[in-house]
Every structure is written in structure tokens, then in C-alpha cells.
Structure 1
Amino acid sequence: MRFPLYIAQRYLKSKSGNNIINIVTILACMGVIAGTMALFIVLSVFSGIKDYSLSILDTNTPDIRITPNQGKSFLVDTNFINTLANSPDSITYTKVLEERAFFKNKDKEAIAFIKGVDSLFNKVTPVDSSIMVGEWFSNNSTNSCVAGFRLTRELDLNVYTDRLLTYVPKAGKGYITDPKNAFKNINPQVIGVISNQNQEDNKYVYVPISLSQELLNKQANEVSYIDIKVHAKNSKNTLNYLKNKLTNYSVSKREELNSSFYKILNSEKLIAYLVSLLVVVMVLSNTSGTIIMVIVDKKKDIKTLVNMGAPLKKVRRIFAIYGFLLNLAGMFIGLIFGIGLVFLQLNFELIMITPSIAYPIAFEWQNVTVVCCTIVIFGALASLLASGRISDKFIKRR
């Protein structure tokens, strides 16, 4: 192995007597540099987009959610609370009661969801950070609400001056004889408006949980689900613990609550990688052409090596290693430039989406690994295919 490596290094470092070979070799190396940079930057951009999108989800999606297997609500009893208290990691949990409701303001009407939350809600999912007008209701508030921006526009709500009339059907059986008694209603004061890039928040009206329990005729400890924030780097231990202890409930992690969103993000990154891979393959095919040209240029050297007793297999290996080293050099230089551009964007925000939001990008070692494996594997294949052109017939040909 040392002999082919030594000769390959000499060929790579020394200039050829043919200037065209030198120029083509430089161009091939520059192509690998550009292909590596492009692949790494594309993967870094999609990693940044993924992180940015997930940061939006963090404001309204908990680490873990516990819902009943049957029915729309359940009672939070002492045993349930003790189970949460004994979780392996430190957690914060919040009780939520949610239901579809009918909303009216003056002559405007809409159907959305009323969401009753307790005082710990914003410690689990910091929705209050998205308040654009007004404020979040205090812990001792009993008749206030915070509405989503889209719903606020639909109903033409004014903060602090309008009350939001909210109706839900009364539970019961049989026919309705008096429409006036068919609905239960509340009339909370609008004190805040939420606006963020997650469209899910626009369909909610947030109220104190006691008010929603009164509206929906629920008990004081009856909820739709429990949201949990895990104060640890990994929520896997808590998730497994809750699944083992709460067998009558559905315990879901964040990825499961937004499974379609995660699938879209991963699919987009995969598609971007495959498109960039086509560019890389085309670039590496140019490397194969360069190796073939070098083989033709070094035909006399090849004959000399064979006449001196070098096996054909080792001669082929010389040019396979030559192409591999050429691709490796281009890969390292391309990664240095690519990583440099990523850190420039992260630190100096050279490209902006809006005057206040920089184009998202992220540095991940996983992307470095993917790029290295791609260039090494496909570069090795291209080099082996090109070096395979050396044969007895080629050597004997004049």
C-alpha cells in the first residue's frame, strides 16, 4: 500500500509537463470544493429552518402531553398527582380544559376553541411571550380572556373595552324544547391579543381554567389534558416512566403531537440533500475524467512500472488513490469555506429575511459527517471506475 500511495502523492504534488492536465486538475479540485460547500451550506440552511420552526412550536407545544384514552376529559385525583410528583426528572405540569365554542361580538360571529388554563400554563408553554396587545390575565382573574390575532380581527374585538360572548351547548339528553336554555354562556373581558407565526394559536381563546370549568359544567379537578415541561436535557426517562405508570392514559411526546410537521421538515431536508447530491455526483464525474486524462498522460510511467514487475492491480491502485486524494483535498477546503460562511451568517447576519430576522442557518456536526461520507464514498467510486480503465490492452497500445 505504501508504494501506490507514494507514487499517487508524487503525481498530485508535482506539475505535469502538459499544462492542460494541470489546468484540468485544478478545475476538478475547484469543482469538488464548490460541490462540498454547496452540499454543506444547503444542509446547514435546512437545519437552521428546522430549528427556527421548532422554536415557534416551543411556545405552544409541551414536552409531554397526557390525554384520556376514552372520553374528552378526566379527573385529576391524588394518585395521579403523586405519580407526577414521583417522576424521575424535575417537571412542571399544567392543567388544561379545552372545548369548541361559539363566539360573538356585536354582529360578528365565529367558531373556535376555548382553552381554560391554570397559573402554571405559561411556565410549560410560554404563550404569554407572544402577546402583541394588552396583557395576560393574572392568577386571581376570574372573568378575563386572551384571544388569537385572527379571531380578534374576525370579531373586530377591542382590548379592554369589549367583552367576548361565549356559548357552548348544555350537556344532556333528549330534544331541545326551549332554544334559550340550550346554551350556557360566559362574557369575559378581552385583555390581550396573541400573535405568532404558529397558526394554531389563532384558533384559541384563553381563559382561567375555573371559568372554562364553569362554562362547560365540569368539576374543579376535571381537565382535557395535562401538559408537562421536563427540566432535563432528555425527556425520555420521564416519558417511559409515565407510560408505564399511566396505562389508562395516552402519553405523547412533542414529536408525536406534531408528527406531520416533523415529517415535512425531514422530507424537505432529504429532498434538498438528494438534489445537492446530483450536483456532487456531476462534479465527481469530472474528477473521473481528470484521472483518465492523467492516466493517458502517464502512460509511459505505467509501462515502466509494469516492466519493472509492478502488478496491474497496484498500478490501478496508484490512480485510484490519486483521485481519492484529489477529492479529499477538495472536500477539506470546501468544508473550511462552508463552515466559515455558516459562522459568518450566524455571527454577523449577512443575509436577512426581514430587517429584524436573519436567514436561519445552523452548524451541526451531523451535517459535517454527512458531507464527508458523501464525498468520500462517491469520490472513491469515481476514482475506482476511472482507474479501472488501465488494462493490458491499454498498456500495449502505442
Structure 2
Amino acid sequence: MEQPSSIAQPVSSSAVEPASGAASSGGESVVRIGALAPLSRPGWVGAGRQLLAGLSLAVDDVNAAGGIGGQRLELVVRDTAADPERAVSAVDELADLGVAALAGEYHSVVARAVAARADALGLPYLCSSAVLDALIDQPSEWVARVAPAQSHGWRIYADFLRSAGHLRIAVAAQASVYWASGTRILRESLAPHGGSVVELDAAVLTPEEVCDELVRQDATALIVLCGVPDPAVSIVRAVRRDPRLTDVLIGAPAGQPELPEWVDELGKEGAGVPFLSYLPERLTDLGVRTESVLRERLGEAPSFVAFEGYDTIAVLADVLRSVGPDRERIAAAWPHVDIEGTRGRIRFTRTPGIDVWQWAWPPIQITDRDPSTPDRIRVLHR
């Protein structure tokens, strides 16, 4: 992937001052932010590409407006490839390189490892897209998040299922703390209303066996809690083509259908799959301009992941302008953030059950791809 000019290439640790988060690059004073994203397999590369596009555009906008007190803002990008150990190594490297803060990441399990390491090192981390409630095991002053907590969004999704008459739910899931957490939230949200959730192991059952279980369980909805392309694509394709399951709703709250890769793989068979999208009914003025530029850069419609990336840098730039690149002062500034992002006003609070500084809450919609025009996203519920 071609990287915008604002993205820094790897630099020597001897060329920076780790304590301050500021550095000299070819005689020019810069402030560096470490950016983490899944840019290679088995990570979700489409999400990583969208996230990095948002992060990079925001950096370009900051620099066009004069940078951080006259200093140029740079991203130092590292590919996590959805690997927690690789991500932790990247955090250590970026800390040694003197970045002022960390930004990004899409995969919740990876972001959890990043948050723990950043907290241990005293390195501010603003998480862009990972929603797992337990992003860290203890209250942290170093970590904040612009994405909503999973329990908040997935409860809304469960309410949507219930309102549509779906109380007999099956989930096709892979083994992951994120998928397990999602299954628990759905079960706890539906149980008081007489709903039930049966779990199908997507790593053991073939797509055809998943179809057989849906018939046997008399499920009216299948929630796909697994990765793209496979096994998610194969499962969706099998269900769509099984004449016994024409009335079964397929859902994907984690947002897999949001990205163009879903349509590329499934075409019309991937339409009509409701997912959570963290976008408002109307973008802010900043969001409208951002959407236009991102569409041009990406060559496709920007997803909510790209807007999360942009908002991440917008917050960090505002903090850096206020307190400078000192890491302790950045972390102390989370509760004082109050800026207009692409999707609304961003402020951080302490939210019960969440041990990081949390934007409570970003806008949430339930959307799908229009069966008549799969390239078009339609809103089902706000």
C-alpha cells in the first residue's frame, strides 16, 4: 500500500529523545505518534487500510494548519498483523523511538495487549477501533478510546434482533475473547425477553454442518462471529444457498459487511446482513470534508473505521497543542478533551465497568448493504 508523505519511515532510536516525544528529523523538529494497524494477514487488511487512511489524512490536515506549535506531526507506522506479541514488540520499539503517544489498532485482542504494555511503560495510548470492554485489567490513566465499548453497541444490536422478532439465535463463532464476550452480551440481553443463544463452533463445523444445525435448532437468525474471508464468507454463502434457510436472518455485529472486501467476496449474497456502524445520521462539517477526501484517497467509500482513525489524531493533536509532547501531561489531559470530531463532540469520561477513558458514546447505527444495490449502505436502526 502506498503511504502518504506524512508517514515516517523507521528511524534510529539514537536520533530521538524518548522522554519528550519530540525529535529532530533532518534538522526539522517533529512530534511523532506511533500508529498500529493490521496491514498484513492474518489481520483484517481492509480495516487496517481504512484506519491508516483516516490517521494519515488527519496528520496531513494538522500539518497543513501549522503542525503542533510549529513542529511537524509524523506517524511512525507498525503493522500488527493481528498478532498480540508482534504488537507488544512494536510498542516497545515505538517507546524507544520516542513517540509522544500511540494511536490505532482494530483487533480487540491486539489492542488489549497494546493497552497493557502502554500502561506498563507509561506511554499514552488512544485506541481507535477496538471495542472489547476489558481493554485492560485495571483502571488506567494512560489509555483512552474513541470507539464505543462492546457491551454498549452489542446491547443495541440485541434490541434490534428482539424488535425484529428474533429470539431463537445461533452464533457461528471462532475461539476468541472478543467473540466470546459478544456471545455473552447477546445472551444476557435476550434472556430476559425469553430469547436464547446457541453456539456453533465455526472452527469445527463445516458450512454445511452449520446449516444443518440451524435447521435442527429452529434458529431464526445466525450471527456470524468469525473472520473474513473464511470461515465467514463460506458460512454466509452456504446459508444463502440452502433452500431450508431462506427466512433465516444473517447478522454480523462486528461490522464485517462494512468493508468492500465483503462485497468483493460475496456480491449480492453478502447484502441484507445487519451490522453495527459507528456513524451518525449526519456527519459534522469536518466529517463531510473528511469523507470526500478519504473517498478520493481510498478509491472507495470510507468506512466508520477511517473516521475513527481521523478522530484519533484530531484528539491527540488537540492535546499536543495544549500540553506539548510530554507523556505524563498527555495522559493527564484525557478528561479535559472537548473537541468537534468528524462524527460529533468528543469528550472522555470514566464509564462504569470500563477501565480506560472512554468517549461515551460515539453515534451508533445498525446498517446493512441494500440487496438491490450491494454497494449502497442503508440504515435499519438508530
Which structure is higher in helix share? 1
Using the size of structure 2 for normalisation, the TM-score is 0.23
Bigger relative CO (Cα 8 Å, ≥ 6 apart)? 1
Using the size of structure 1 for normalisation, the TM-score is 0.22
Asked which structure has the greater CA Rg, the reply is 1
